[in-house]
Structure 1
Amino acid sequence: MAEAVVSFVLKKICESVVQESSLLTEVERDFNDIKDDLVSIQAFLKNADTKAAANEGVQTWVKQLREASFRIEDVIDEYIMHEAQKINQSRSIATLQMIPNMIWRYQIAREIQDIKSSLGKIKQKNTEFEFRSESGSGRSRGFKAPRIGDPRLDPYFIEETQVVGFEDPRDELVSWLVEETDDLLLISVVGMGGLGKTTLAKHVFDNQLVKDQFHYRSFITVSQSYNMRELLRYMIKKFCKDNNEPIPKGLQKMDDVNFITQVKQYLESKKYLVVFDDVWEEKISDEIKDALGSNIKGSRIIVTTRKMPIADYFKKSFLVRVHKLQPLSIEKASELFCNKAFRSKPGKQCPTELKELSDEIVQKCEGLPLAIVAIGGLLSTKDEDMFEWRKVIQNLRMELARNVHLAVLDKILSLSYDDLPYHLKSCMLYFGIYPEDYIINRKRLTRQWMAEGFVKNEEQRPLEEVSEEYLTELIQRSLVNVSAVGFDGKVRSCKIHDVLREVIIRKMKDLSFCHLMNKDDEQVTIGVTRRFSIAAFSNSDLENSGTRAIIVFDKGDLPEHFMDGLSSKFKLLKVLDFQNSLLNSLPDNMGNLFHLRYLNLSHTKVTILPRSIGNLVNLETLDLRQTKVHELPKEINNLTKLRLLPVYYRRYEGHYDMLNFTTGVQLQEGIGCLKSLQKLYFLEADHGGVDLFRELKMLTQLRKLGIRRVQQQYGNALCAVIQEMKNLESLNITIIAENETLDLDFLSTPPPNLRVLNLKSRLAKLPDWIPNLKYLVKLRLGLSNFKYDPLDSLKKLPNLLRLNLWDNAFSGESLHFQVGGFPKLKELDLTRLNRLSSITIDEEALLGLEHFRFKNNPQLKVLPQDFKNLKNLQFLGFAEMPAELVDSIEEGGPCHGIINHIPVVQIRQNEGSRFHDYKLYRIRTQLNV
């Protein structure tokens, strides 16, 4: 709980608690006490998990402390809710409320005293366990080589014949090491824990070509606790010992300046290879640069790390090459698994009856060598029996915690979590809430983090930007895998490794962070938990008053008792997520969830919001994407903290129609009160008229605006609105009818940071301000009906990455992409340009283009020879194009040579009337045979 919130509660209590009994007069002092206790508890809990790991008694004590922290948070949140509701009550009935208010105050006073009593007993245990906070000096304990039993020792003794799947990385690293250059080169090997970085580095270190090149070699395990002076001293001793040289005298007693000078002088004349394995901190670069950085004898340094920022930081002082180690292929992973699981069988072959289970295990390991080796080793001790193996797979989470065979795997993967700063640990635990193999949308995840209060509020920076930095850091620490990236390089979706997820889920349970609810939970006692992830509803009645988040993944009908009891049983909820569920309505008393900040109803069957939604005064995100909510109640205007309001429905059921494909929402008079709103799309402008535009001008914090059904007569009013929105980054405008023309030239000063622009309207001409949008990365024009080639005006947009010309945006016959135009364009889409018959691409034009799509351009029957000029094109797609064009580029066709250099050439064929009724097939080229 943030200090500001605690202070606020304290102030409110001082103002409101009357001194009418000895019990109530002590509330202020008691709250002061538990406020101080909460601050100290949370400071301690930041490192408690690591401290308590080895002692079951301590674990119990830490759990009690954490639950006491929960109780304090709950009583504070309950007080805030009660005081806010009391303020909102009508003065005319204030006297009637006096007695219930007094009773509630007695109740909260007793709860506080009970918490104090519990804390006193817990504190006594602190003395018994003699806990100490970590001192800064504990981080540097000198150099210690791995000891017997330490998993870091294993790669030292892997025979070359035992190494599987590292042939290509080994060859690349060896080539970098032995290439003929005198420059000092540092090679960073980056990847998640258990991926085999140490094994690869040792494999390369012992390669005969490498040994022949470097007579001075040292392999040093750094790990999380190290002393750089000791590491360098060990390195010098190793060099001297291997080459029968005397060790420089006095290294132990020298001050740091003389020590670094001595090491530097010793190394300057030598060609050496040193491996710093398992590096966790950027500062190592600064610590070694003076001693190692000036060598010009062709020396090499290899660094292995889980963190990409460390690899990047070395670039400050060294010439760096980065090798991002990839998971094993399915074939290599299967080979490694069989080598471990069936080591005693001739040929290490998998028995036929275990083939399906073996494949399932290999799939779950997702190419992570440590997981494959550990699980394979465990199964090698079991009978080759399907039921035995199935039990191990089903109970993998439990086995990770208790089975000696998997202890190494659990320890290695836990290190990355334990190394996280405190604010990122909760963010990382959130990945365990999502089901196995679930592809997690970035926006959904980061908005949940924000609602939970995990994201620090920084002045002058949107919370979204800060939360995206959190996700980036988790990715760069090799904890989170990117699943999809947008055209602008932003992460669109992500997931975590299945085995890492098992580790995270166990931590979630230990920390009472979240309970994963399945049908099997009917007889399970849930106990204290802060969150519910509901994969399937059970028949048991769900109730937990301190729950802060409920996320529903169940695809079945939602139980009535669950929906009816939401506001009474989960009154402290902050996050409520029904995305993709069968929810069809919200209870009328939804507004009682006073603390709710995030409500996700996207892709549900909800059509109407209850009027009580206006009571959710803390709501920040209301997600109504792909719902048929077409009108919001007037009470929505009470939500002055609302920041994100995406609401629309797209008709995928029938044929595409640009003007009617998307349905927006009608807002009532008074939306100017939503001063915090940053994203609003899609608003229907034909409901509200000029008054709507007058109120829109008041929403100056908007960063994304989507507005539909704009009438020609409101062009000037719309321009006036946009001109006030200095923070706008994304603008989407759609006209009400094809025959209406929108004049946007009235907009003299467009938003300075506009990045995305969608204009679907007939335009008198291309507005003069568009070619001057220097930060624009995406431009989509539809229905514009330009008779001249618009590319000449648009070609100088310096940062444009994606250009879409749709639905007769251009009504001419020929487009010309000129030399030097669109310097950064990556994606180009030409769709339903009915008169387009030819395209010219100059030889040095569109040099960065990677994706080119054509759809339903009926007159474009010949693919231009100029496509040979697109050397970097990775994808070429055709949909509903003339048969002459498609036939000509098929293998053996007259134009096949034009596209033969493109890795993916894809044809889409419609098979029905609905939007998604199609099939895809690829044309073979020289790069995808």
Structure 2
Amino acid sequence: MAETAVGFAIDRMVSLLTNETSLLRDVHSEVESIKHELEAIQCFLKDADMKADLEYSQGDHQTTRDGVKAWVKQLTEIAFQIEDVIDEYTFHLEQHPGGRRARGFIASLCKIGRSIIKLKPRHNIASCIQEIKKAVVEIKERSARYGFDSIEKGTTNADNPSQYVSGYDPRKGSMYLEDDDLVGIESPRDELVGWLLNNDQQTQRAIISVVGMGGLGKTTLARKVYDLVKNDFDCHAWIAVSQPYQKEGLLKKIIKQFCKGNKEPASQGIDSMDEEALTEKVRQYLQKKRYAVFFDDVWKVGFWGDIEHALLDNKIGGRIVITTRSKEVGDFCKISPSVYDLELKPLDPEKAYELFCKRAFRVEFGGRCPPSLNDLSRKIVKKCGGLPLAIVAIAGLLSTKDRTVYEWDKLHSSLSSELESNPHLTSIKRILLLSYYDLPYYLKCCFLYFGMYPEDYSIKLSRLLRQWIAEGFIKSKKDKTLEGVAHQYLSELIHRSLVQISDVHFLRGTCKACRVHDLLHEVILKKMEDLIFCRVLSGNDQSTLRGDQLVTRRLSIINSSSINVLHNIDQSFQVRSILNFKFSDRIFANSILSTHTKNFKLLKLLDFEDSALDYIHEDIGNLFHLRYHSLRNTKVKMLPKSIGKLVNLETLDIRDSFVVEIPAEIERLSKLRYLLAYSRYDFNIDSIQFNLSTVRGMKVHEGIGCLGALQKLSLLDASKMGVDIIKELGKLTHLKILEIFKLKSEDGKILFECIAKMNHLESLNVTTISGDDIIHIEFLSSLPQSLRSLSLTGPLSKLPEWISQLQNLVNLTLVLTKLEDDPVKTFRNLHNLLMLRMLYDAYNGEKLQFEEGVFSRLKLLSAMHLSKLNSIVIEEGALPILEKLIIGPSPKLEIINGRIYVVQSDHHRYNED
């Protein structure tokens, strides 16, 4: 964490030096000096973090390890103090803004007064910075005791985290397991063997990457396959790459392995050859040989570039297998013409249970679980999440214990602490942590953030990425939005096999929600605690009330009922974020809010989603640094006017709360990017019951046009907005998503004139005030070409031709539009359309006919509650990749055996009601 904390402290100082030109001269130079000192330290912090956590502790090594831990902790605390000082400074300066313009003598007095007021915080920061500089210098001098001052004399080990795995390592035996001990590898084994011995491509070199998170059994699988196929090749080699390597050393190993496998003497002089000579040597050896080389545990993304020229494509059939935790390593190999990917998955529950029983009950019960331990065994296996490494290690430990419910329940209940302290299990933690330590500092905090959510919690992507942005984890990049960079960060964590995709967008096929493996979650929890990253408070655990344990940067409160917890937080370490999960205790939920403005004045994030909170205190306006505030699915009925003082707020989420009106003071929030407010109780346009009266939107006041940074605005209640307010929407030119309902017919022209100015708009949802109000869409000469999703609810005056020109449109939903023209013919030119929904008399015709060639990319078609429809015809060749067809109650459609009758060519397709 020191590496991460120092990295962010440096970023904050760079921002301060760049933007705060009014800093006292001495302060400016002191900040610059501290920045240079920290940059000098930062280059070996990654190494120090690993030494403090992963190095095997024994005898004198324990003393060194403890010293390193203390050193890392002190540096982390200093980095936090730097961030606190800067935030305090900006907080005080912003308390006295310029205000309205005055003239003459009064203006001069005001200017002098503001300068005097601002001078004090500048002197305060000067004093604090001097103390911090003194502490940094002392910490740097102390580092000499641990050898960190010699960083320039040698090479750091930070890029080779695997060397720190020591002690009992269950991976070591994975290459020598008997077939009877293996479970669940049959299918990937056969697939891998098939690729290696593929007779159709005997002459072409092929690269195969086996990808998966640590502990999934990549080495076990690869070694078994290697032993099966090696004799089918003229030469073969097994190379472990996890240790540090130089290109020359790697090439020497390859040559020696080839010679050893063929019982040939190693070539003379290879130890003195340079890279070029070694590359040529390997190429000469392979000129007329069919070879197989297995590289195990590759970390470096550019690894293929180090060996591709040596392992030439000799047109005889070379095979190269790479096992790795990183999908990017495998992707880098795709510059080769013949590439295969094998992504290993966790074992399914039954296979996992079978493996567990084989290892835990091998001796006494012949690999079968006794009935008395069956339930506990399955609970323990579930905790392992299908990870063979953990299953084997935990089962091996349990095989040494008494076969009693008491002993097994004790391990199940204390698995988290056992992972930390039990010699049989600590290697699991170390192996899982290797991937964490291989991350750059800006990704480590993003990964640790998953520990703030409960175990097995599927996190919505939008929520997570907005929180990362609010926390300041996302570094801006040229020509990329913060959201774009955040998506890139998440993709990298997924590709490194650290984060799992738990839900996928049906249309786009992209990640919609994600989670981490349960054992990784356990490891993260301990790591967060050690690094002062976050404290998780759950249940009635009174041990969390000790003041020394409540020094933390963030709080995650999970079903906790300890009302006094927040009063005991050490204020010297300002808490930056509070996440709450499913409070049923209204008093406790409100207690948090009454406390946070006193103890947590530098808060950046407050997430009360799903809590029993029913009141927001006026003092919330004092949280100057607040960037993210969620009241989603709470019982809050009203926002205080002081919400307008949160000038740094970026996300305000009040969806499914009881708030129906946004205070006029919100116009001051120029940085607001997401204003999310709606209640859709019992509202589902795909359901049998459909009633617009169950939808509640929000009322906004004049001034909404001042929110120029808004990207998403939903759901506006147009019936509570005057014409002047609707006109202001035209100023929101950065909007990407707009949802507005209860639109009155007479306001349609004004609204669509505003929409025409939104050149970045990607999603538009417009609903009329009732089924009789007409959407005068003819007032809109065109929609932004950026539009990807369009939903119209209410009768259309006519269907303009320009809709068919929206070539980026992928989602079209029509409800109650009462179209007379055949929508299939009307929209047939929307070649990129993935979803088409026509619901509740969206179409008044009798027949829908899909001819060959139309909607070639359509994945979902929904036609429900169309009262006049009597037939649907899908011709041969139409809708070639359709995945989901939803046909709902339409009284005139022919019914056969309780199902809707649909014609496709000359045979029948049936769909349930």
Question: What's the TM-score, normalizing by structure 2?
Answer: 0.89
Does the residue aligned with 2:654 lie in a helix, a strand or coil? strand
Distance 1:367 1:735, change over 3 A: same
What's 1:127 paired with? 144
Kindly provide the CA deviation profile for residues 370-409 of structure 1, in whole angstroms up to 9, marking residues without a partner as x: 0101111121222222222222222222222221111221
Does the residue aligned with 2:848 lie in a helix, a strand or coil? strand
Kindly provide the CA deviation profile for residues 178-220 of structure 1, in whole angstroms up to 9, marking residues without a partner as x: 221322222211111100011001111112xx24522422111
What's 1:579 paired with? 609
Distance 1:678 1:806, change over 3 A: same
Kindly provide the CA deviation profile for residues 685-727 of structure 1, in whole angstroms up to 9, marking residues without a partner as x: 2333331232111111111111112222233222221211111
User: Given that residues 139 and 224 in structure 1 are in contact (C-alpha distance below 8 angstroms), is that contact kept between their aligned partners in structure 2?
Assistant: no
Distance 1:267 1:898, change over 3 A: farther
What's 1:868 paired with? none
Distance 1:37 1:73, change over 3 A: farther
- Report whether the alignment pairs 1:332 with 2:360: no
Does the residue aligned with 2:632 lie in a helix, a strand or coil? coil
What's the Cα RMSD here? Answer: 3.1
The residue identity in structure 1 corresponding to 2:602 is L
Distance 1:9 1:757, change over 3 A: same
Unaligned residue ranges in structure 1 (runs of 5+): 18-24, 864-882, 890-894, 909-929
Deviation at residue 512 of structure 1 after TM alignment: 0.5
Distance 2:384 2:174 in 1: 20
Distance 2:131 2:681 in 1: 56
The partner residue of 1:624 within 654, 677, 680 is: 654
User: Given that residues 621 and 642 in structure 2 are in contact (C-alpha distance below 8 angstroms), is that contact kept between their aligned partners in structure 1?
Assistant: yes
Distance 1:299 1:155, change over 3 A: same
Does the residue aligned with 1:313 lie in a helix, a strand or coil? helix
Distance 1:407 1:690, change over 3 A: same
User: Given that residues 293 and 318 in structure 1 are in contact (C-alpha distance below 8 angstroms), is that contact kept between their aligned partners in structure 2?
Assistant: no
The partner residue of 2:218 within 197, 221, 224 is: 197
The residue identity in structure 2 corresponding to 1:184 is R
User: Given that residues 38 and 72 in structure 1 are in contact (C-alpha distance below 8 angstroms), is that contact kept between their aligned partners in structure 2?
Assistant: no
The residue identity in structure 2 corresponding to 1:537 is S
User: Given that residues 89 and 121 in structure 2 are in contact (C-alpha distance below 8 angstroms), is that contact kept between their aligned partners in structure 1?
Assistant: no
- Report whether the alignment pairs 1:531 with 2:550: no
Distance 1:123 1:250, change over 3 A: closer
What's 2:97 paired with? 87
What's 2:775 paired with? 742
User: Given that residues 745 and 768 in structure 1 are in contact (C-alpha distance below 8 angstroms), is that contact kept between their aligned partners in structure 2?
Assistant: no
Distance 2:540 2:113 in 1: 47
The residue identity in structure 2 corresponding to 1:732 is N
User: Given that residues 651 and 675 in structure 2 are in contact (C-alpha distance below 8 angstroms), is that contact kept between their aligned partners in structure 1?
Assistant: yes
Does the residue aligned with 2:772 lie in a helix, a strand or coil? coil
Kindly provide the CA deviation profile for residues 454-483 of structure 1, in whole angstroms up to 9, marking residues without a partner as x: 111123322112111111111111111111
What's 1:399 paired with? 418
Kindly provide the CA deviation profile for residues 44-82 of structure 1, in whole angstroms up to 9, marking residues without a partner as x: 545431143331111011101101111121111111101
The residue identity in structure 1 corresponding to 2:474 is V
Deviation at residue 297 of structure 1 after TM alignment: 1.7
What's 1:60 paired with? 70
Distance 2:122 2:330 in 1: 57
Distance 1:139 1:595 in 2: 34
The partner residue of 2:871 within 820, 838, 848 is: 838
1:417-456 equivalence runs, <5 A: 417-456=436-475
The partner residue of 1:300 within 294, 315, 319 is: 319
Question: What's the TM-score, normalizing by structure 1?
Answer: 0.88
**Which segment drifts farther, 739-748 or 186-195?**
739-748
The residue identity in structure 2 corresponding to 1:70 is F
Does the residue aligned with 1:523 lie in a helix, a strand or coil? helix
- Report whether the alignment pairs 1:463 with 2:489: no
Deviation at residue 564 of structure 1 after TM alignment: 1.0
- Report whether the alignment pairs 1:884 with 2:898: yes
Distance 1:757 1:133, change over 3 A: farther
Distance 2:136 2:196 in 1: 60
Distance 2:332 2:159 in 1: 21
What's 1:793 paired with? 826
What's 2:537 paired with? 517
What's 2:62 paired with? none
The residue identity in structure 2 corresponding to 1:312 is D
Kindly provide the CA deviation profile for residues 271-311 of structure 1, in whole angstroms up to 9, marking residues without a partner as x: 12111111112322222222224132233221111111222
What's 1:50 paired with? 50
Distance 1:4 1:523 in 2: 35
Distance 1:453 1:259, change over 3 A: same
What's 2:289 paired with? 270
The partner residue of 2:504 within 476, 481, 485 is: 485
The partner residue of 2:575 within 538, 542, 547 is: 547
- Report whether the alignment pairs 1:592 with 2:622: yes
Does the residue aligned with 1:304 lie in a helix, a strand or coil? strand
1:419-818 equivalence runs, <5 A: 419-487=438-506, 488-524=508-544, 525=546, 526-535=549-558, 536-542=560-566, 543-545=569-571, 546-558=574-586, 559=588, 560-652=590-682, 656-657=689-690, 659-818=692-851
Q: How high is the sequence identity, in percent, across the aligned residues?
A: 44
Distance 1:8 1:251 in 2: 52
The residue identity in structure 1 corresponding to 2:668 is N
Distance 1:637 1:330, change over 3 A: same
Distance 2:186 2:242 in 1: 26
Kindly provide the CA deviation profile for residues 4-45 of structure 1, in whole angstroms up to 9, marking residues without a partner as x: 74356468987477xxxxxxx965665555455555565554
Kindly provide the CA deviation profile for residues 475-524 of structure 1, in whole angstroms up to 9, marking residues without a partner as x: 11111111110121121111111011111111111110000002343233
Unaligned residue ranges in structure 2 (runs of 5+): 1-7, 56-64
User: Given that residues 41 and 140 in structure 2 are in contact (C-alpha distance below 8 angstroms), is that contact kept between their aligned partners in structure 1?
Assistant: no
The partner residue of 2:238 within 196, 219, 240 is: 219
User: Given that residues 139 and 226 in structure 1 are in contact (C-alpha distance below 8 angstroms), is that contact kept between their aligned partners in structure 2?
Assistant: no
The residue identity in structure 1 corresponding to 2:878 is A
Deviation at residue 356 of structure 1 after TM alignment: 1.0
Distance 1:824 1:658, change over 3 A: farther
The residue identity in structure 2 corresponding to 1:80 is T
User: Given that residues 685 and 692 in structure 1 are in contact (C-alpha distance below 8 angstroms), is that contact kept between their aligned partners in structure 2?
Assistant: no
What's 2:3 paired with? none
- Report whether the alignment pairs 1:6 with 2:20: no
Does the residue aligned with 1:724 lie in a helix, a strand or coil? coil
The residue identity in structure 2 corresponding to 1:204 is V
What's 2:391 paired with? 372
Deviation at residue 830 of structure 1 after TM alignment: 1.6
Deviation at residue 751 of structure 1 after TM alignment: 1.3
- Report whether the alignment pairs 1:70 with 2:113: no
Distance 1:158 1:898 in 2: 53
Deviation at residue 99 of structure 1 after TM alignment: 9.9
User: Given that residues 268 and 296 in structure 1 are in contact (C-alpha distance below 8 angstroms), is that contact kept between their aligned partners in structure 2?
Assistant: no
Distance 1:15 1:249 in 2: 69
Distance 1:696 1:511 in 2: 45
Deviation at residue 679 of structure 1 after TM alignment: 0.7
Kindly provide the CA deviation profile for residues 879-918 of structure 1, in whole angstroms up to 9, marking residues without a partner as x: xxxx6326x89xxxxx9x9569xxxx7x57xxxxxxxxxx
Distance 2:683 2:563 in 1: 35
The residue identity in structure 2 corresponding to 1:644 is Y
User: Given that residues 237 and 247 in structure 1 are in contact (C-alpha distance below 8 angstroms), is that contact kept between their aligned partners in structure 2?
Assistant: yes
Does the residue aligned with 1:203 lie in a helix, a strand or coil? helix
Deviation at residue 855 of structure 1 after TM alignment: 2.3
Distance 1:795 1:69, change over 3 A: same
The residue identity in structure 1 corresponding to 2:422 is N
Distance 1:218 1:4 in 2: 46
Deviation at residue 857 of structure 1 after TM alignment: 2.2
Distance 1:899 1:363, change over 3 A: farther
User: Given that residues 271 and 299 in structure 1 are in contact (C-alpha distance below 8 angstroms), is that contact kept between their aligned partners in structure 2?
Assistant: yes
Distance 1:554 1:663, change over 3 A: closer
**Which segment drifts farther, 646-655 or 34-43?**
34-43
